[in-house]
Amino acid sequence: MLRKKNARLSLLTCLVLLLMVDCAVTSLEPQASSRGQDATYDSMISDLDRPGIIDFQQVVGADWSIIREGLIDLDDPKSVEAGLQEGPEPIQIYFFVLDHPKQGRFLIDTGMGQVFRQPADEWPISSIIQSQMNMDTLKIRTTTEEWLKNQNRKIQGVFLTHMHMDHILGAGDIDSAVPFYTGPREATSTSFLNMFVRGTTDDLLEGKHLVELRFPAAAQPAEPTTSEQEPLQIIDFFGDGSLFLIHVPGHTPGSMAFLINGKDGIHLVLGDTCHTAWGWKHNVVPGSFTADHEENRHSLNELQKLASRIKTRKIYPGHQNLD
């Protein structure tokens, strides 16, 4: 009896210890950066009146399919009303190319790496994660190396919307001297679940130089207020009003969205604060893939508000295209 009780106690101790082993998503240590100028919501909106100077394009790396309950909160009343069910949802993997006339070429996210043209046992992803992530449904359209090779333009930097695996699959195709910019605490905040992905994240980002951006501290309101009224934190990255980085915590701690003043109009890249076209149209947050639903809710509301204030050429959910 006593032995049984002891066994139960030690099992409990093990579980408690296991739950305490939180870790960061990568063992790479980001370097701090003060690049970019602090911007406010209003200064950003008025800067966007200037003529756009960035050549902007979206590149489709792969078609893929993954569980809808991860991508969309199926318990949201709007999902229930629409009769959305669990099951596979067709999605895509992208990267974005920004060509600035003076600052050169930057990417948002990394697309698909050349290594994924090889058999699956050569991929830098553990077989457990491959099966969890439904990787057998992945169909490559173009790898990042294939797309970049005839371009003869050096990449000056890569912005990561966040550090989930499907956004760093093409990192290996990018020169290791290129800085990879992340949002606040994206690479350093800890969670228990990171234990399962850390090895794969490290392999995909091997040799990369991570740089954590500093966003302006949120202004302290004079009166206590609800999170609904907290302002967005924004950086004018080049200091010329052509590219704004917006900290949108929730999906992950350091998630970022991007507002690009392109030659052909304004582009809003949402990242995985909203994965799907349906989620954006109905203002429904992601499902189980999001770490903090409340914060994600706030960030998505703020992006919707922003989109209603400006005339965009196109808005890009994380994994699908809007019509």
Structure tokens at 115: 């290594």
101-128 CB burial, b ≥16 within 10 A, e <16: eebebbbbbbbbbebbeeeeeebbbeee
Q: Closest separation between CB of residue 194 and Zn ion, Å?
A: 16
Our CA angle for 323, 237, 174, nearest 5°, is 75
* Interacting positions 222-241 with Zn ion (CB under 5 A): none
For residues 166 and 236, which CB has a smaller minimum distance to Zn ion in the complex? 166
Structure tokens at 259: 């507002």
Taking a C-beta distance cutoff of 8 angstroms, is the pair 144, 117 a contact? no
Structure tokens at 296: 């994600």
Taking a C-beta distance cutoff of 8 angstroms, is the pair 163, 189 a contact? no
Of 123-131, 149-157, 193-201, 272-280: span binding Zn ion (CB under 5 A): 272-280
Per-residue string for binding with Zn ion, 53-92, x by CB under 5 A? ----------------------------------------
For residues 201 and 242, which CB has a smaller minimum distance to Zn ion in the complex? 201
Q: Closest separation between CB of residue 319 and Zn ion, Å?
A: 6
Number of chain positions touching Zn ion (CB under 5 A): 2
Cross-sheet strand order for the sheet of 312-317? 37-39, 233-236, 243-247, 256-262, 265-271, 312-317
Residues facing residue 262 across a β-bridge: 54, 265
Residue 272 sits in the site that holds Zn ion (CB under 5 A): yes
Q: Closest separation between CB of residue 139 and Zn ion, Å?
A: 16
Of 33-41, 68-76, 128-136, 265-273: span binding Zn ion (CB under 5 A): 265-273
Residue 166 sits in the site that holds Zn ion (CB under 5 A): yes
DSSP for 262-285, written as a single string: ETTEEEEEEETTS-SHHHHHHT--
Of 9-17, 164-172, 174-182, 299-307: span binding Zn ion (CB under 5 A): 164-172
For residues 160 and 235, which CB has a smaller minimum distance to Zn ion in the complex? 160
For residues 28 and 93, which CB has a smaller minimum distance to Zn ion in the complex? 93
Of 19-27, 79-87, 113-121, 266-274: span binding Zn ion (CB under 5 A): 266-274
Of 96-104, 182-190, 218-226, 264-272: span binding Zn ion (CB under 5 A): 264-272
Using CA atoms, how far residue 84 sits from 67, 71, 74, in Å, is 12, 12, 7
Rounded Cα distance between 4 and 254, Å, is 45
Rounded Cα distance between 140 and 185, Å, is 31
Q: Closest separation between CB of residue 275 and Zn ion, Å?
A: 6
Q: Closest separation between CB of residue 211 and Zn ion, Å?
A: 21
Footprint of Zn ion on this chain (CB under 5 A)? Answer: 166, 272
